Chain A
Amino acid sequence: MHILVIEDEPKVARAIREGLEAEHYQVSVAATGEEGFFLASNQIVDLILLDLMLPGRSGLEILAALRGQGCQTPVLILTARDAVDDRVAGLDQGADDYLVKPFAFPELLARIRALTRRGRYEHALRLRLADLELDCVTRRVTRAGQEIPLTSREFELLEYLLRHQGHVVSRQMLAQDVWRIQDRATPLDNVIDVHIARLRQKMDAPFASPLLKTVRGVGFVLKEGAV
């Protein structure tokens, strides 16, 4: 899996490169729009992360040029501009997704996964992790054969965590995907923390090995063993 990062800010570019390489992606970095356009047209890449404010040609121009010559590579825009108009402009030019800086790295990873698995059917109806089992049809959750009663919000939360098992999930991703709050300024962090605490109380407390872990400063992860 080869990802092209078009980003002029060296520190941001380096952080993204290291983060992606740690996840075993192959990464190329372009610091200007022209270089990015050249790499994107001449190399086979699976995904492009595109900054909008670039020296030389702007990100939107690059995107329009790429789409104009028939390039189908998924493009994820990374930008500090979060006004609705900017998002619309980006998506209208042919971007596949839009992420506002500063972003949580787990969210970037989740979106990359979502973009690269497009088209693949992945709606498993029964999700499992160790002895925890969640049935999307009957909406029942069991651990070690023991039924765990959950409220509907807790169920949705657990389902989301299970679908991202092994990957860290940020509070912002939860606010957006489970609570469906689009704007970032809404302070739902406390609410999310309370729900996580309750979920943990129900599914981890009675059992020997905890599955739901907090990654301080980042978010939560559902996995076996240590973080």
Chain B
Amino acid sequence: MRRQPSIRLRLTIWYSTVMLLFFCLISGLIYVFVRQQLDDLFQSKLETGYDTVATVVVISYGDIYDVMHLGHNSLFRLTRDGETVYQTNKWKEADLSAVVGTADTFEQMSWRDPADRHYRIKSGFIPEYNFRLVFAQDITDMEHILDALLLILLAGFPAAALLAVAGGWFMAGRALAPINDMTRQARTISAENLSERLPVPNPRDEIGRLAVVFNDTLSRLQHSFEQLRRFTADASHELRTPLTSLRATGEVALSGKVEPARLREAIASMLEETERLTHLVDNLLILARGDSGKFALPSVRLDLGGMVAAVIDDLKVLAEEKSQHIEFRGDGPLTVRVHAATVRQAILNVVHNAIRYTPNGGHIEVVLSGSGDGWALLDVRDDGPGIPTLEQEKVFERFYRLDKARSRAEGGTGLGLSIARWGIRTNGGEIGFVPDRTPGTCCRIRLPLAAEE
């Protein structure tokens, strides 16, 4: 791949190119304009000179004495029938008769002599006195002026180019300086100091907006990092606890000072811990697979009401054990197109949670309804202690627990709601707590209704 030059260099190149093109255009225009003006000026000098001589010849009735007065600085010649009647000294010096001859075959011509002097020559006939008048104008000065102008313009080009490049480089540098500052500061931010932010001098200009966006990204990154750090800490705790207990129990049992009945006890306890670990690993694997995103879930059409009823039927005994009253209300069949196992697991986890955290004798209400705009809404309400508003999002994080000690004793892994959220989102839905009643909580699952077939 071709390496791109830096933005500063590219800006400078663009800027200089435009400036120089502009300079060339202006120079060209100036040159053309000045040349046109000078040309007009010298042409009118030629014509005025000719006219003066012709007029003087006419008003002095063909007498050439008056004409001689005009002769000091002009070049002209008067002929009659091919014979030279009068020529000025300058005409003679320039030896223009050799060029013009005696023919009257032209009106105006141009001549450059070997000494590089340039003449414009006008020829005409004065019929009253049968004179032929040839008047010449030296236009060498005009050419000198134009040459000088061209020289100035050409000499100005490198200077202008230098100025444009230097100016462009300087201005691009000025414009890019805040970006360079940002780059330098961003480079110092790493996983260790993610809490640092870029300074935002003016949040309304382009650079300020970039800094704001960058800072937002940093915030999200910091949040993810913190989540990951907490998850790692929690996961190692959750995994090490059963491993520690397994190992300790095994070592004690092997120490040889234990009677056979206690040995059986030790083995049983180890098996229980194994069961816990298996369950935990299974849950983590579900989430890991969800994270990897490569989950081709075959979806089927099913009646959500039927699925909820079946889940509640399975869990009813747990509510009965705690003398809780669990009630299910649903209006009409609501058909969704989902992967049955993940959605079932999500609903089961949510209802199971409600039973687990609602005290004995509480009420749990599961209400299924259509939203009217293409969604099925499943509300799981309980009159338990509720979840503080600030924690209502956090409980969906992995291993997050409101009451660590109690929840572990109740047999939860701390992953149930994370799995529920993954399962519902994978199926195009959303899950969250909605403010509904106090005390207690209302967990709402939204799933898109299936299109008619």
Contacts and interface: CB of A to CB of B under 8 A. Distances in A.
The CB with the most chain A CB atoms within 10 A, among B278, B283, B345, is that of: B278
Contacts of B318: 190-191, 194
A218 B274 contact: no
Contact of A191 (B275, B278, B315): B315
B95 interface: no
- Per DSSP, chain A at the interface is loop
Contact of A102 (B274, B314, B317): B274
A23 interface: no
Interface in A136-162: none
A84 B289 CA distance: 12
B275 A217 contact: yes
A82 B278 CA distance: 13
B360 interface: no
- Per DSSP, chain B at the interface is helix
Chain B interface residue bracket vs A: 20 to 34
Given A179-B314, A183-B345, A189 B411 contact: yes
Given A216-B268, A216-B272, A185 B317 contact: no
B341 interface: yes
Nearest to A83: B289
B143 interface: no
Nearest to B273: A217
A216 B269 CA distance: 8
Nearest to A194: B317
A82 B317 CA distance: 30
B271 A218 contact: yes
B66 to A, nearest CB: 120
B380 interface: no
A102 B273 CA distance: 13
A135 B151 CA distance: 121
B445 interface: no
Interface string B241-273: 000000000000000000000000101111110
A95 B211 CA distance: 59
Contacts of B453: none
Contacts of B116: none
A47 to B, nearest CB: 25
A205 interface: no
A188 B316 CA distance: 12
A173 to B, nearest CB: 13
B373 interface: no
A187 interface: yes
B407 to A, nearest CB: 13
Given A190-B318, A215-B268, A216-B269, 19 more contacts: A102-B274, A184-B278, A185-B282, A185-B285, A186-B344, A186-B345, A186-B348, A187-B349, A187-B416, A189-B411, A191-B314, A194-B317, A194-B318, A194-B321, A195-B317, A216-B271, A217-B268, A217-B270, A218-B271
16 contacts: A184-B278, A185-B279, A185-B345, A185-B419, A186-B345, A187-B352, A187-B411, A187-B413, A187-B416, A189-B411, A191-B314, A194-B317, A217-B267, A217-B270, A217-B271, A217-B272
